[in-house]
Amino acid sequence: MERKITTKYIVSMIAIILIFCSLFYVIAKHVTSTDILSFDNTIIKFIQSFISSDLTMWVGRITFLGSVFFIAVAIAIIAALLLWKKKYALAIFIVSVNGLGALLNKLLKWLFKRERPDILPVIIEKGYSFPSGHSMGSLIFFGSCAYLCIHIVKSTGKKVVAYIIASLFILLIGVSRIYLGVHYPTDVVGGYAIGIAYSAVCILAFRLYEYKAKR
């Protein structure tokens, strides 16, 4: 794969970072406003109108894919495989991006201290609500896995499929948190926004590292 990094690429990545940081800021600033709460509650009631025992079972399985346990085990396996293939930089990338992302989410939850919704919780979760850890964590994890395909998979078609699958998992996990009544929709959107911005920072830093390493 071509490792050349252009000014256009750098500017585009910086633009993505600024746009999604701005979106996160706007959401965070108004997250407790009456209009936002009304919007959140309306979306929660709509999604939870589909609650059934069978669907809840599948939603539980989907939300597990965004759990700390699943992501940690998956990262350990992926990192081990990358080390076995002697792709040391990618192994460090997948571990550090997800590890630091988890710490960032903890910090943000502590800063905002938003309580979880209490409309109709299907399950009980502890801790603060904003931004959603499952949403942010799944975006960073599945996004970083999809990014690995750029380096490992040669087929353009397979790369596209990897991004589509990753996007589908990210979306379903976010919706699952609303369905289960443990997050407001704005928690999920906020998690996605800061997750995209953070991932863009990490990818840009990694690309710059690759560029300098090749010189």
Q: Where are the domains of the chain?
A: 7-214
> Residue 25: what pLDDT?
94
Catalytic, 183? Answer: yes
Residue 184 sits at φ, ψ, to 5 deg, of -75, 155
Instruction: Give 124-139 pLDDT, tens digit per residue.
Output: 778 888 999 999 999 9
Tell me which DSSP letter residue 32 carries: T
Q: One of 65, 183, 191, 203 is an active-site residue; which one?
A: 183
Q: What is the pTM of this model?
A: 0.90
What is the C-alpha to C-alpha distance for residues 198 and 136, in angstroms, rounded to an integer?
10
Mean pLDDT for all residues in the chain: 90
| Ranges of residues in the chain whose predicted pLDDT is under 70 | 1-4, 120, 215
Q: Say which of 109, 134, 137, 177 is annotated catalytic.
A: 134
Per-residue pLDDT of 78-96, as tens digits, reads: 999 999 999 999 999 999 9
The burial class, CB within 10 Å (0-12 / 13-18 / 19+), for 73 is exposed
Contact 74, 94 (CB under 8 A): no
